[in-house]
């Protein structure tokens, strides 16, 4: 008795997890609860969400509501114990219901198709009938011919004055739905592998500097196992606009003091080395930008171009001209204030960088000129000499996402499985077909009928097509439909 | 720009087609029906022309800014699917495309009266949202081969869901016996809310200067009505909306007689609604979720971050997965699944527009 009871309990638990009601409940619950996390900002500063809550609950109640919400895990909802529990339940439901239903599907696939009686054929959901003025064998051969060209493997059963052809196609398409379920489980497994054995970090690397670690949080670093250095960072803009065209940094991998890999990374084009990938994700100015180098190119009229690296206050001379220049000022984004006419910076970032140079001409005339990187023409001096502002190097950092995810290949594999099996699931059907051909004096009567697990209309069309092929082959005209 | 003329012609044709389709419902004259279909096909051809022209223009635009870019890469980068305006236009194109296929397959024109309004609402939304129509340079985040396929497949999926939505609305109108039925009130409420939001956005649009119009969607959404600083305006907006909802609820049932006289059987509507989801679900799963995740991984190193756009597409996916399971395994039929199809499309709209209007996330660039 105890064993029986145990079995009953097991069975009812099994039934509970295999039930479609649980699936429907979980889909609704996951959908509804996911909404919360799209409204409450996730993993944000408390003040931001308190301000949000104040709009709904008033200023005085907001902190209390915040605390309740925080206790419920709403502030990091997708990682909260209850949301994760729903996901676990969802996976269990998916696995158990698949195991529960699989044997039945397997039987459906592997049960051999049998010939039916004529009346059973006529009571199938999709059917057509026709009469032809031709011999039984001729009609049979034409059917075999048409069905085989449509890649049906045809079986035959002979009766008195009648023959029956039967065939099926696409029975393994019934498995596609299990493959879809499997792919979802594989995605969960891939995600778990990524969480357990991978990491998602970041690294802000100034131009000209190197690092052996990435950061998971400001005070938690993770060793890379090699050194990564940033040669330069640059934002390119569309023509004269402030619309960025590309964010780029040149990264170098160094091992044993040797450069082993160099690559210019861009958004959508990361660098991978030993399983760790570096993604271009942000950029910015360093807090103390005066330490950088101004990269200038100077060219006396008709003379040779020369590149210089200078710091704030440094002076230079354009060879053979006697023109002296001193770097006096820098603006990351130079513009002229419309109201006052004064020069000013409209951004902290190097959107439209410019340097001011105090020039001293050979005749001791002095003036200050702003040279903008975006407009090289601003660097022409009297006499056709030219100073070009190439870069202010060493003042920006490149913001990199650093990730290692050993589970991602599984995610990709699962994605392929899911895409293929979804296609099969919706567009390939398990079709069974019976053709009953009976001799009736000089004519043959044909019943063609079948069943399909989906896409009935296209199956009806297919049967129609088969029949019209046959009639064209036999009589060169349409069949006499009944 | 020449492409915009073709867009305007196609928009005009779709709106004309909508009116003719509705007229067809009323007069049930075969000639009127053929006229409605012809008008839709005409609009579709015009829009296809406009789409190709815009692609060519934006190809030139891209090559000018990126002379070093290879030919195939330039074609991919120039796909006119970069911002809200272009994606809405493409949504309308996909919707009409799928509608024409359905109309051809089922040989029944009445559904047009329910699908063309969705297209017209989208076109109206383009105008009242004041979204930028010029060809814009492609920002670095969007410079990926995934852009074309991700957006293309997602929107074909959205459009299929839109057709299912149209069929489900028609289904509910046809099958409802009494206005007091919950499901009828529910669907008239949904339609009413769509129209009210569009109308309120129209008021926003009219109340703004040209400069502000460009930023309507980010900073002025519903500020002229429901979110007005004046309490009186807010109150009037709510009262007017409730009155409007009542009107919709009260008169929609009139359509029932018309529909049932047009051999638009409930079985056919139910079938169209399911078939469209059967097409939309794989497209959306593969194009929207899978390709989106792969793209995110190659751009940011994270295939899933639970940002609002991702989460809402997952919610949409849950709703349609629910539809399929409830229908095939749970044995749900008729009204209950029709309601799921309507909820699904509301989730689609929210995924696509609501997230950008109301919430923010990694996809913020999609609102330009």
Which has more pLDDT, B362 or A303?
A303
Sign of the torsion angle spanned by Cα atoms B116, B118, B121, B127: negative
Nearest to B278 among A27, A245, A426 (CB): A426
Q: Which residues of A touch B314 (CB under 8 A)?
A: 34
Rounded to a whole number of angstroms, the distance between the first and last alpha carbons of chain B is 20
Three-class DSSP labels, B308-365? HHHHHHHHHHHHHHHHHHHHHCCCCCCHHHHHHHHHHHHHHHHHHHHHHHHCCCHHHH
In terms of DSSP H, where are the helices of B176-290? Answer: 182-207, 210-213, 231-251, 254-260, 266-283
User: Which band of pLDDT confidence, cut at 50, 70 and 90, is reported for residue A265?
Assistant: very high
Min Cα–Cα distance to chain A from B137, Å: 7
pLDDT at B328: 84
pLDDT at A477: 52
C-beta atoms of B311 and A401 within 8 A: no
Instruction: Work out the burial of residue A405: count CB atoms within 10 Å of its CB; fewer than 13 is exposed, 13-18 middle, 19 or more buried.
Output: buried
pLDDT per residue as tens digits for the range A5-45: 888 899 999 999 999 899 999 999 999 999 988 888 888 88
Q: Which residues of B89-123 are buried (b: 16+ CB within 10 A; e: fewer)?
A: bbbbbbbbbbbbebbeebebbbbbbbbbbbbbbbb
C-beta atoms of A268 and B312 within 8 A: no
Cβ contacts of residue A33 below 8 Å, gap of 6+? A77, A83, A86
pLDDT at B316: 96
What proportion of chain A, given as a percentage, has pLDDT over 90?
A: 49
pLDDT at B332: 84
Long-range contacts of B69-72 (CB under 8 A, 24+ apart): none
pLDDT at B145: 86
| A·B CB contacts under 8 A | 114
Least confident of A65-79, B34-48, B112-126: B112-126
Return d(Cα B294, Cα B6) in angstroms, integer.
Answer: 35
Whether A482 has a pLDDT exceeding 60, the answer reads no
pLDDT per residue as tens digits for the range B203-233: 777 776 666 666 665 566 677 777 777 777 7
Return d(Cα A481, Cα A424) in angstroms, integer.
Answer: 33
* Over residues A444-451, mean pLDDT: 91
Cβ contacts of residue A452 below 8 Å, gap of 6+? A126, A429, A430, A431, A432, A459
Tell me if residue A9 falls in helix, strand or coil.
helix
pLDDT per residue as tens digits for the range A115-169: 988 888 888 888 898 888 888 888 899 899 999 988 889 999 988 889 999 999 9
pLDDT at B368: 30
pLDDT at A278: 96
Q: Say if residues A207 and A201 touch (Cβ distance below 8 Å).
A: no
C-beta atoms of A28 and B293 within 8 A: no
Which has more pLDDT, A413 or B358?
A413
pLDDT per residue as tens digits for the range A348-396: 888 889 999 999 988 888 889 899 998 988 988 888 889 999 999 989 9
Nearest to A281 among B300, B312, B315 (CB): B300
Return d(Cα B260, Cα B250) in angstroms, integer.
Answer: 18
State the helix-helix crossing angle for B335-349 and B308-328, rounded to 10 degrees: 170
Which element (helix H / strand E) includes A350? none
Return d(Cα A158, Cα A436) in angstroms, integer.
Answer: 10
Nearest to A279 among B278, B301, B330 (CB): B301
pLDDT at A37: 87
Cβ contacts of residue B146 below 8 Å, gap of 6+? B291, B294, B295, B298
Return d(Cα A89, Cα A17) in angstroms, integer.
Answer: 8
Q: How many CA atoms lie within 13 A of A155 on its CB side?
A: 13
pTM of the model: 0.86
C-beta atoms of B301 and A200 within 8 A: yes
pLDDT at A75: 86
Min Cα–Cα distance to chain B from A401, Å: 7
Min Cα–Cα distance to chain B from A419, Å: 6
Whether A1 has a pLDDT exceeding 70, the answer reads no
Question: Residue B344: closest CA among chain A residues belongs to which residue?
Answer: A31
Nearest to B325 among A24, A37, A191 (CB): A24
pLDDT at B363: 42
Among B103, B100, B109, B110, CA closest to B259? B110
Min Cα–Cα distance to chain A from B244, Å: 26
Return d(Cα A170, Cα B265) in angstroms, integer.
Answer: 31
Min Cα–Cα distance to chain A from B354, Å: 11
C-beta atoms of B300 and A401 within 8 A: yes
Q: What mean pLDDT, rounded, does chain A reach?
A: 89
Among A373, A370, A369, CA closest to A392? A373
Q: Looking at chain B from residue 279 to 298, which residues have their Cβ under 8 Å from any Cβ of chain A?
A: 279, 281-282, 285-286, 290, 293-294, 297-298
User: Which band of pLDDT confidence, cut at 50, 70 and 90, is reported for residue A95?
Assistant: very high
* Over residues B170-194, mean pLDDT: 80
pLDDT per residue as tens digits for the range A302-329: 888 899 999 888 999 888 888 899 999 8
Note whether B137 contacts A: Cβ–Cβ < 8 A: yes
* Over residues A455-481, mean pLDDT: 78
Min Cα–Cα distance to chain A from B99, Å: 18
Q: Which residues of B touch A52 (CB under 8 A)?
A: none
Q: Which of A4-8, A40-44, A274-278, B193-197 has the highest mean pLDDT?
A: A274-278
pLDDT at B268: 82
Whether A197 has a pLDDT exceeding 90, the answer reads yes
Q: Looking at chain B from residue 26 to 85, which residues have their Cβ under 8 Å from any Cβ of chain A?
A: 65-66
Determine which of B136, B288, B301 to mutate to test the interface with A (most A C-beta atoms within 10 Å): B301
Return d(Cα A366, Cα A359) in angstroms, integer.
Answer: 6
Report the DSSP beta bridge partners of residue A360. A324, A366
Q: What mean pLDDT, rounded, does chain B reach?
A: 83
Return d(Cα A450, Cα A121) in angstroms, integer.
Answer: 8
């Amino acid at each position: 008795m105890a064993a029986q009871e145990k079995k009953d309990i097991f069975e009812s638990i099994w039934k509970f997890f295999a039930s479609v009601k649980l699936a429907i409940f979980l889909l609704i619950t996951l959908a509804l609860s996911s909404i919360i996390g799209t409204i409450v900002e996730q993993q944000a500063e408390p003040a931001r969400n308190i301000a949000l809550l104040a709009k709904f609950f008033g200023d005085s109640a907001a902190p209390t509501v915040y605390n309740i919400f925080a206790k419920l895990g709403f502030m990091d909802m997708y990682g909260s114990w209850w949301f994760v529990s729903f996901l676990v339940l969802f996976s269990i439901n998916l696995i158990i219901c698949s195991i529960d239903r699989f044997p039945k599907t397997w039987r459906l696939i592997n049960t051999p198709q049998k010939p039916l009686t004529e009346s059973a054929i006529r009571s199938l959901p999709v059917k057509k009938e026709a009469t032809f003025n031709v011999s039984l064998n001729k009609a049979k051969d034409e059917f075999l011919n048409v069905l085989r060209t449509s890649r049906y493997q045809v079986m035959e059963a002979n009766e008195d004055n009648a023959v029956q052809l039967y065939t099926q196609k696409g029975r393994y398409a019934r498995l596609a739905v299990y493959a879809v379920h499997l792919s979802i489980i594989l995605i969960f497994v891939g995600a778990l592998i990524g969480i357990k054995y991978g990491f998602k970090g970041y690294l802000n690397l100034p131009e000209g500097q190197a690092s052996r670690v990435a950061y998971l949080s400001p005070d938690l670093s993770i060793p890379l196992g090699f050194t990564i250095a940033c040669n330069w960072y640059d934002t390119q803009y569309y023509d004269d606009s402030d619309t960025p065209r590309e964010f780029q940094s040149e990264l170098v991998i160094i091992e044993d003091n040797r450069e082993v890999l160099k690559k210019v990374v861009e958004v959508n084009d990361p660098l991978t080395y030993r399983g760790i990938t570096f993604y271009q994700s942000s950029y910015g100015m360093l807090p103390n930008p005066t330490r950088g180098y101004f990269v200038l190119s100077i060219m006396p009229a008709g003379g040779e171009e020369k590149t210089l690296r200078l710091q704030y206050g440094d002076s230079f001379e354009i060879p053979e001209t006697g023109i002296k220049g001193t770097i006096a000022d820098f603006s990351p984004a130079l513009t002229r204030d419309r109201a006052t006419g004064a020069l000013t910076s409209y951004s902290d970032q190097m959107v439209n960088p410019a340097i001011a140079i105090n020039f001293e001409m050979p005749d001791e005339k002095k003036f200050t000129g702003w040279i903008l990187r975006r407009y090289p023409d601003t660097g022409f001096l009297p006499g056709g000499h030219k100073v070009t502002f190439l870069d202010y190097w060493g003042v920006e950092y490149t913001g990199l996402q650093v990730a290692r995810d050993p589970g991602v290949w599984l995610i990709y594999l699962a994605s392929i499985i899911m895409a293929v099996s979804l296609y099969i699931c919706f567009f390939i059907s398990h079709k069974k077909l019976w053709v009953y051909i009976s001799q009736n004096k000089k004519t043959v009567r044909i019943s063609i009928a079948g069943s399909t697990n989906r896409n009935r209309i296209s199956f009806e069309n297919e049967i129609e097509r088969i029949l019209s092929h046959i009639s064209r082959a036999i009589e060169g005209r349409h069949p006499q439909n009944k | 720009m020449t492409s915009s003329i073709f867009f305007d012609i196609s928009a005009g044709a779709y709106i004309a087609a909508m009116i003719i389709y509705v007229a067809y419902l009323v007069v049930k004259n075969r000639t009127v029906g053929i006229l409605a279909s012809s008008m839709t096909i005409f609009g579709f051809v015009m829009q296809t022309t406009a789409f190709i022209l815009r692609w060519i223009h934006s190809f030139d635009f891209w090559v000018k800014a990126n002379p070093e870019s290879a030919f195939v890469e330039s074609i991919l980068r120039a796909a006119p699917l970069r911002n809200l305006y272009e994606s809405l236009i493409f949504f309308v194109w996909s919707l009409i495309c799928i509608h024409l296929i359905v109309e051809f397959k089922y040989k029944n024109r009445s559904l047009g009266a329910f699908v063309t309004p969705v297209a017209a609402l989208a076109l109206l939304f383009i105008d009242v949202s004041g979204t930028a129509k010029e060809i814009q340079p492609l920002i670095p985040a969007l410079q990926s081969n995934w852009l074309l396929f991700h957006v293309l497949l997602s929107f074909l999926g959205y459009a299929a869901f839109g057709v299912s939505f149209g069929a489900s609305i028609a289904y509910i109108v046809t099958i409802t016996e009494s206005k007091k039925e919950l499901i009828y009130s529910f669907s008239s409420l949904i339609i009413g809310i769509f129209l009210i939001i569009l109308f309120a956005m129209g008021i926003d649009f009219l109340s703004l200067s040209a400069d502000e119009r460009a930023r309507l969607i980010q900073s002025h959404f519903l500020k002229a009505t429901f979110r007005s600083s004046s309490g009186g305006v807010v109150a009037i907006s709510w009262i007017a909306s409730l009155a409007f909802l009542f009107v919709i609820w009260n008169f929609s049932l009139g359509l029932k007689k018309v529909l049932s006289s047009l051999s638009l059987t409930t079985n056919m509507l139910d079938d169209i609604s399911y078939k469209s989801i059967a097409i939309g679900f794989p497209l959306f799963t593969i194009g929207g979720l899978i390709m989106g995740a792969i793209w995110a991984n190659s751009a940011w190193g994270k295939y899933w971050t639970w940002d609002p756009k991702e989460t809402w597409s997952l919610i949409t996916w849950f709703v349609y997965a629910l539809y399929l399971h409830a229908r095939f395994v749970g044995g749900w039929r008729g009204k209950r699944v029709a309601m799921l199809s309507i909820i699904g499309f509301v989730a689609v709209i929210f995924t696509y527009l609501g997230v950008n209007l109301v919430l923010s996330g990694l996809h913020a660039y999609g609102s330009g």
